[in-house]
Amino acid sequence: MSPIGTAAGRSPIAAGERVLVTGGAGFIGSHLCECLLAQGCEVLALDNLSSGHTQNLAPLLSHPRFRFMRADVCASPPPQAEGVQRIFNLACPASPAQYQRMPVQTVLTSALGVWQMLELAQRSGARLLQASTSEVYGDALQHPQREEDWGHVNPLGPRACYDEGKRCAEAMLLAYARQYGTTVRIARLFNTYGPRLQPGDGRVVSNFIRQALQGEDLTLYGDGHQTRSFCYVDDTVRGLWLLMESGHEGPVNLGNPVECSMRELAERVLAITGSRSRLVHRPLPQDDPRRRRPDIARAAQWLGWRPEIGLDEGLARTVAEFRARAGALRSPSGPT
């Protein structure tokens, strides 16, 4: 990946600066580590592997400026993390199916994990970026979602462990900024997708692609008219970097404002894969947001950021990587 300039056209992180990425073995985290190494940073990736996979980091493990540490973000950080200059806090299960299977760990990761990272940022004089989420808007009353929107979250429902956990994290970041002057950044991510999504993670893009490639029915929850706005991972990672290096605390929405219904997504996946799978309806999960689309005026104005990869191109790249991974698993020598 080529170096990324800031809105002003320069990259303020000096080559060799030490950057911690929690959730570094996860889907977005592994792409971020790759980008940071390309910028010349020394990268420490921390992950407890509850939803991340070291396989995501396979190409980086031998890199001289990369180090992986298996540790839980809720525990005291390993000594190697002391003195870092930047912290990207991405650790948290993000698929509804996964986080609802481990709601206690999910809420603790957001509350305790963020607290640990804020304390580390204080001790180290580091800047901390929190990966927050469009879920803070819940089943939004305003459309599209703007950062000023306070959200419409069910605090007692099955998604609350994630939604309220992330809202608590945002509140804690701003509490530290106000009380102790900690330098923080808040990014609200909208449905990131791309290569290295886990085929079994239960998210809609992973499910549809896996089902289409295996000739299974595509499972459309509810009537399929609910919408999401899918952002390709390279665009998300570029936005995270730009926000970290900007002079803005946020929150900033990072998402692709092109809205798509789940039925339309299923049809696009069928077209791109050439699959003859059928669509079958399954019950809509409780509290499933009906519509989701980011207003990205802030990201455009503050960061000069907008997504560059359209849905069809992003899906085609993702499908190609799913196919390659399946092929590698089938080959007699196994994954490479």
Instruction: Name which of 26 and 77 has its Cβ closer to ligand UDP.
Output: 26
Query: What tokens does 28 get?
Result: 């977005």
By CB under 6 A, residue 158 contacts ligand UDP: no
Cβ at position 208, least distance to ligand UDP in Å = 7
β-pairing verdict for 227-229 and 259-261: antiparallel
Instruction: Name which of 191 and 273 has its Cβ closer to ligand UDP.
Output: 191
Binding positions for ligand UDP, 183-212, rule CB under 6 A? 191, 203-204, 207
Cβ at position 155, least distance to ligand UDP in Å = 17
Q: Write down how long the chain is.
A: 336
How many whole angstroms separate alpha carbon 3 and alpha carbon 25?
22
Q: Using the 8-state DSSP alphabet, how is residue 294 labeled?
A: B
How many whole angstroms separate alpha carbon 143 and alpha carbon 290?
11
Structure-derived torsion over alpha carbons of residues 9, 303, 26, 134, reported in degrees to the nearest 10: -170
| H or E stretch at 232 | strand 231-232
Q: Using the 8-state DSSP alphabet, how is residue 231 labeled?
A: E
The residue within the footprint of ligand UDP, chosen from 174, 288, 291, 302 (CB under 6 A), is: 288
User: Is 99 annotated as catalytic?
Assistant: no
Cβ at position 203, least distance to ligand UDP in Å = 4
Binding positions for ligand UDP, 257-276, rule CB under 6 A? 262
How many whole angstroms separate alpha carbon 51 and alpha carbon 3?
29
**Residue in the block written with tokens 């995501």:** 56
How many whole angstroms separate alpha carbon 261 and alpha carbon 87?
35
Catalytic one of 162, 176, 193, 232: 162
Q: Which residues contact 101 (CB under 8 A, 6 or more apart)?
A: none
Cβ at position 200, least distance to ligand UDP in Å = 11
The residue within the footprint of ligand UDP, chosen from 26, 96, 250, 314 (CB under 6 A), is: 96
Cβ at position 126, least distance to ligand UDP in Å = 29
Binding positions for ligand UDP, 208-237, rule CB under 6 A? 219-221, 226, 228
Instruction: Name which of 89 and 207 has its Cβ closer to ligand UDP.
Output: 207
Residues near ligand UDP (CB under 6 A) are 95-96, 191, 203-204, 207, 219-221, 226, 228, 262, 284-285, 288
Q: Which residues are catalytically annotated?
A: 162
